[in-house]
Structure formats: C-alpha cells, structure tokens
Amino acid sequence: MAASEKLQSLVDQMPEPDNRGTYGNMDKERIQKAVAEIHRGGRDAVVGLIEMLVEPGAGNDIKPRYALHVLAVHVCQLGDDKARAQFARTVASQLAGRPKGVQRYLIRQLQVAGAAEVVETLGQALLDPGLCEPAARALVSIGHGAADQLRGALPKVTGKCRLAVILGLAALADRNAAGAFKEALDDNDADIRIAGAWGLACLADAGSAGTLLKAADGRTGWERIQQTNACLVLAEKLLAAGNKAAATGIYTRLRDARTKPSEGYVRQAAERGLAAAT
Amino acid sequence: MGASRKADQGPPVGGKGRVSRRGFLAGTAAAAAAAIVPRHVLGGVYAPPSETLAVGIVGCGGQSGEDVRNYIGGAGGQYRVLAVCDVDTQRVARAVKSHGEGCQGYTDFRRLIEREDLDVVSVATPPHWHALITIAAMQAGKDVLCEKPMTKFIAEGRAVVNAARRYGRVFQIGTSGRFGAYKSSASRLIHKIMRSGLLKRCPGVWIQRGGFHIKPYCGRVGPKPEAVPPHLDWDMYCGPAPLAPYHPHRFGGSHRFYWDYEGQGLADFAQHYLDPIQWVWGKDDTSPVEVEAYAPPAHPDAAGMWGWVEMKYADGLTFVFDGGEWGKPYDRKAERRVELEDLDEESRNKVEAMPDPEPPRTFVEAVRTRRRSAGHEEAAHRAATVIHLANIAIRCGRKIRYDPVKEQIIGDDFANRLVNQPMRAPWHL
C-alpha cells in the first residue's frame, strides 16, 4: 500500500484536534482499528505515512505523525519481534534526504521501537550535526550494539556532537571507551572534561582513581563539584564491587585534602564512605 | 544551558550568567552574604534554632518561593533568599525585586549552585529539571526543597536518593499531606497494620476518583513553532529534554501538558494524593508490581486523555486513579480499608500493642537535626514512581510488570526506555 486512497482514509480516522488544538476527544477503538489496518499494509503503508510528514510549521501533518507513533507503539505491543524489526528497518530506511525535523521525528520513533537492526543507521546519523544529539539518545535507549556505533563516530565528530557521543558512551559504561574518557579530562571544554570524568566513574575502574582525584583537585566552582562527585561515585562503585582498598584510598584522599570549611560536606561524605568501607 | 554555553563560563555582570540591576545588587549581595554565615561554615551538624537559613531559589514562575514559605517559614524557621535563578530574564528581574536587597539574580543555575553561602536550594522549575538541580545542589552541600512531582522519570528519583545519601543532605518534597494523615487515628491504625507485616494478603483498595484536570491539561498537537522571546533562554529551558521548536504553550505553566517536561494532570496532582496515602498504607519503600491503564493511544508529544489506571502491590494492595473524564469509569474493585478484623486474634493484639509511628518531621527540624524530613527522598521517589508507572502504562498501551527492587519493568525492553530516559548533552544523571 503506497500513499494510496486507502492509506489516506485510514489516516483520516485519526482524531481531529478540538478547538483548543488538543486531543480532548478520542475514540480508542477507532484509532486502534485504523492503525492495525495500516500495519497490515506493511512497508508501503509505513513509507506512505512517512511521505506525509513535513517540517514542523510547514504544513499540517498532525494525523500521520500521530499515526506513525501509534504504529511504533503498536508493533511493540504485538509480541512479534519480526514485525517490530520490520517496522523499524522501514523507518530507518526512510531517514536519508528528508527535512531535519522529519528526520528527528523518525529517530524518535526508532527510539520507541527500534533495536539492534537500526543501530548502524543511527550510527550514521551521529555524523550529522543536526541529528547527532537525538541519534545518541536513541542509541543509548536501544543499548544493544550502540557502544560500537558511538565509539566509531567519536573520532569524526566535534563540538556538541562529541559531547553527546562521550556522554552516550558513559551512560553505556563502555569499557572500550576508557581511553577516550581519560583523553577528555584534558580537553579545553569544561563540559567535555566533566563528561570524561563521569565516564570514568561509570566504568568503576580502580586505575582511574588517581587521575580523577587529580582532575578534581585542579578545578574550581561547578567543575570541581562535578569532578568531586565523579570521585565519590567511583569510590561507591569500587566498594560495591568489593574493592575496599581502592575505595578507601579515594575517600581518605578526599577527607584529607578538602580542608576548606566550604568543603566540609565533602569531608563528611568521605568519612561516611570510610565508615561504610570498614 | 545547551552545549553552547560552557560549564566554566563565568558570570559576567550583566551578561548571560547573571542578571544585574546595575552595580547596586552586586554590592548588596556581598553585604548580605557577609551577614548570614552559612551552616557549613559554622561546622558540625548542629544548627542553632535561631539560625537564619540562606536560600537560593531556582525557578521564578508561579510556584517560586512557595516551598520556602511553607516548609521553612510555615514551620517556624527563619530564612533569607539570597539568590534566584530562571531562564527568563524578566522573571529573574521581578524575583530579585520581590526578594529585596541582597538577592542576586542568575539565569544559569550552576552559578547559583556553586555559591558557598547557601544552605538550602528550592527547586521550583518545571519537573524535567527537578532531579538534575536537586542532585547538583546536594553535590554542592545544600539541603533541598523540591516542587512536586519530584521527577520526570523513575531513574531520576533513584539518582536523587543516592545523592542525598552520598552527601548526607535533607530533602523535602513540595507536598505535605502526610502531616494531616498522621493526625487521624484511623490512618495511623492502617499504617500500623500494614507495617506490622502480619496481614498475609492485603485486601485494601484505595481509589482516587477525579481531581486530575485531564482535559484542561491536554497538550496541543502540532502547534506551529514561534520565535523565541528575547528574554527567554529556550535552550536552557529545554535542558535535558529534547530541543523542541519553541511554542509559548510549552512554557509558563502549560509545560505540564507535554511529555518532555511533565506528565499532565496525573503527574501534577497525584503526588499530592499519594503523599499521605502512601504513608498510610506503608508503601514508602516499595512500588507497585503490576500496572494497567485504560486509555486511548497516547500522542508522542502532547499529553492527552485517559480513563483509569490500576496499580497492584506485591501484597495485594491496589491503588487506582480513576480520572472520570474519558471512557467508562473504573468498576473492577470497590474501595476498601484494612481493619483489625482482617487479622487473627494474636496479630490484632500485637498491632494494638504497637506504639504509634514517629510523627512526621518538618524540613526545618530535619535540617537542624540532620535527620530525614517527612517528605523525604525515598518516599517522594516511590510516590513519583507510581505516577511514572501509570503514565508509562498509558503511553505504552499495555499492562506492565515492575520489579520494585531493581526498579525495572520486567520483560519489556521498550517500556523500560521510559524508566530511564537519556538526557540531552551536557546533562546526565
């Protein structure tokens, strides 16, 4: 089914916004029946829906937008992973060459219903500054196979994209990104340095303790607060993993080094950590 | 901020980081800072009852200052607002004026957080910022008053709890129903029965009928983007949420109607309803295990209509939100309390011999004694979890099963994506 009269008639069954522009009146059964019928239309129906989407503000695509999202949720409800993956592949195949606002919307639907079958497409999107950020979030949500894509993109991205990629790798606690996290600690951009510290904390690698403590000691204000938190989180993770010696080392250093009255709360946090470690 | 504003960017007077009311404010802020010595500088954990708490408020909209007035002033505490922050410079200017001499305005909360002279940060932003600012304040050694709902998604709540424990901070959610519930002997009895662990299977059913303002809180579908007003930092407003095209309906109270920032009337009101009820039913440390919603398919951006949500706990207790504004009303179960008669004689005697639970502690008392306040972080997180699970069931259109210990939805990777939602860089939990 292409963008046919039948598809249009199904899309027309999506609710009309009320006079406030909201979906205040909705017929659940009518919507579900129409969306199930669209799903039965297979790839052509999905492509047809996507063809109806426009850049926000460039026209009225309220109904096909809603229908595509309800379809994304519908394929997750079916318990049929083949059908879900087919939907996700179709959406991913339609990403290229569309207006940025449409591309971002499609990526959001991949975040809803995509899995390993779409990570390569999302990995490509990381290289587009206009799509990098939503693509990184979608990859983190998907998880499976996402770290390879993020790591692969890292040498090719800059600025905001690089930050999004590093934070994505941190969220996934990607051990293969340890080098990148350490490198980030020396970046000129404070946000990158904070992201690198967070990544190292997430890895729970005892070997990073000295590096993190040194990084925290050398900063002031917001960055010092964030870097110190990374040290405490690393200590907690090491303690939880049974590495008491490494955790104790971090806590002791923080307790002894943070002598300013305004950092008394850091000393107290370190003392609580030491008490937990003994 | 958005990645465009750097974390280490200083606050130039009159620039982006700080709102200046000419040189006057800078001078008076410094004078006020000198007049109020923050608790952590005094050292130790004890704060004298006469102490004036130095407060910073993030969020200068409709709720700004409410929690400070209610939970510090209303509990007999003294405070002084030394700093306010908002992404809207007009709001900041108004707030600075209203708080008077010595109050400094900011547009970047990080500049407020890194001040060393604040004891308490009050978070009165839209909910998508609540957890991040709360955690940041705790990381900087501040106690926190946080507007409800506590969080935008479940994982944020656990991160707040962890931060409170890590830094030994006091947290109070901006709702106080449990103070009233404690005064009721019937409520205390239910609490004791539930906490006794003597009830083998809980037949209790609590139903909140109406009061969610569902229809008025529906978001607009497909609003036409507009130009961002010059006084608003839209990128910073969106913060950890996706950078949506600006529309005034996404800002200034009606933000509640969009999934990016809140979870409509259910999120806006249910923490009020749940705060006393969750305490009464002894569920401050756990969550429902099964959640089912009756609702039409949700819109991806704009919150919309729903009928009811049924939530079951592991012990059989059932909570129900019956919106009463869409579809058929909830009719599966009738409301039911638990009573002493639900127990065998030996258990009844044990419950009757139990002392009353500890009275709820005010925020001021909690700050002074360094003990948990009544609306503490774990209780608030568990109440917010109920809200989020209800909204997840509405948005996913399927029954979900939840593990209250791992805090994960069981067997549904796709629904789990709403439990822990990746944030827009540079923000992260």
Say yes or no: B234 and B382 in one domain.
yes
In a domain, B287, yes or no: yes
B353-369 pLDDT, tens digit per residue, is: 999 999 999 999 999 99
Residues 149-208 of B with CB under 8 A from A: 166-168
A16, A74, A265: which to substitute to probe chain B, counting the most B Cβ within 10 Å?
Answer: A265
Facing residues of B79 across strands?
B53
Report which secondary-structure segment, H or E, holds B104. strand B104-106
- What is the Cα–Cα distance from A87 to A79, expressed in whole angstroms? 13
B397-410 pLDDT, tens digit per residue, is: 999 999 999 999 99
Say yes or no: B321 and B406 in one domain.
yes
Of the candidates B160, B176, B192, which is a domain's last residue? B176
Say yes or no: B44 and B135 in one domain.
yes
Please give the tally of structural domains in chain B: 2
Report yes or no: B21 and B98 within 8 Å, Cβ to Cβ. Answer: no
Structure tokens at B57: 């408020």
Residue B64: name the closest of B83, B51, B49 by CA: B83
| Chain A environment of B422 (Cβ under 8 Å) | 136-137, 140-141, 168, 171
Of the candidates B176, B205, B224, which is a domain's last residue? B176
Global pTM reads: 0.93
Of the candidates B158, B176, B194, which is a domain's last residue? B176
Say yes or no: B139 and B253 in one domain.
no
Range of the domain at B261: 179-357+376-417
Say yes or no: B153 and B193 in one domain.
no
pLDDT, position A3: 60
Any chain B CB within 8 A of the CB of A28? yes
pLDDT, position B18: 41
Flag residues of chain A having pLDDT under 70: 1-3
In a domain, B15, yes or no: no
| Chain B environment of A234 (Cβ under 8 Å) | none
Say yes or no: B246 and B352 in one domain.
yes
A119-133 pLDDT, tens digit per residue, is: 999 999 999 999 999
Say yes or no: B306 and B381 in one domain.
yes
Q: Mean pLDDT across chain B, nearest whole number?
A: 90
B125-135 pLDDT, tens digit per residue, is: 999 999 999 99
pLDDT, position B6: 54
Residue pointed to by tokens 């940041």: B136
Say yes or no: B109 and B194 in one domain.
no
| Chain B environment of A143 (Cβ under 8 Å) | 413
* Mean pLDDT on B16-36: 36
Q: Could B141 and A32 be called an inter-chain contact, meaning their C-beta atoms sit closer than 8 Å?
A: no
Say yes or no: B241 and B324 in one domain.
yes
Say yes or no: B209 and B121 in one domain.
no
Say yes or no: B237 and B209 in one domain.
yes
Q: Mean pLDDT across chain A, nearest whole number?
A: 96
Say yes or no: B101 and B160 in one domain.
yes
CATH number at residue B390: 3.30.360
Q: Could A77 and B397 be called an inter-chain contact, meaning their C-beta atoms sit closer than 8 Å?
A: yes
pLDDT, position B429: 95
In a domain, B10, yes or no: no
pLDDT, position B51: 84
**Complex ipTM > 0.95:** yes
Report yes or no: B40 and A265 within 8 Å, Cβ to Cβ. Answer: yes
Q: Which residues contact B412 (CB under 8 A, 6 or more apart)?
A: B396, B398, B400, B401
In a domain, B422, yes or no: no
- Which residue of B lies nearest to A67 if distances are taken between CA atoms? B299
Q: Could B300 and A69 be called an inter-chain contact, meaning their C-beta atoms sit closer than 8 Å?
A: yes
Q: Could A222 and B298 be called an inter-chain contact, meaning their C-beta atoms sit closer than 8 Å?
A: no
Structure tokens at A66: 């809603």
In a domain, B22, yes or no: no
In a domain, B11, yes or no: no
Report yes or no: B243 and B233 within 8 Å, Cβ to Cβ. Answer: no
